[in-house]
Amino acid sequence: MLTMTSLAAQNQFGTLIDASQRQPVTVTRHGRPVAVVLSYEDYQAVTQTLPFHVATLISESYPLRGKEAGDSMRQHLAKMSNKAADEGLTEDDLTRMLSED
């Protein structure tokens, strides 16, 4: 993965965009990674994965606490389960996918 400083990314924005079409680019500030720039196609591929959906679910529920958080998580997981079932994904499929390295 390429790396650019935030100053270089700002001053060479066109180069940053061009590079991100080939591979993700890490942007650093004071030597620490602060962002990743990737192509729209890569973004779409990443956001269609189950771990991304779970991370989104957790981030949406994070401000909630106690029973409210649990109820919210159960509602989201039920929606995900129904969507998976609608698309023909079975429990055996999920078990096999989760056990693959």
With cut-offs at 50, 70 and 90, classify the pLDDT of residue 2. Answer: very high
Residue 11: predicted pLDDT: 97
Please report, for the chain, the start and end positions of each structural domain, with discontinuous segments joined by +.
2-39, 49-99
Continuous segment of H or E residues that includes residue 26: strand 25-29
CA torsion, ordered 41, 46, 49, 52, to nearest 10 deg: -140
Backbone angles phi, psi at 36, to 5 degrees: -130, 130
With cut-offs at 50, 70 and 90, classify the pLDDT of residue 33. Answer: very high
Q: Which CATH superfamily is domain 2-39 in?
A: YefM-like domain (3.40.1620.10)
Q: At what angle do helices 66-86 and 50-61 cross, to 10 degrees?
A: 160
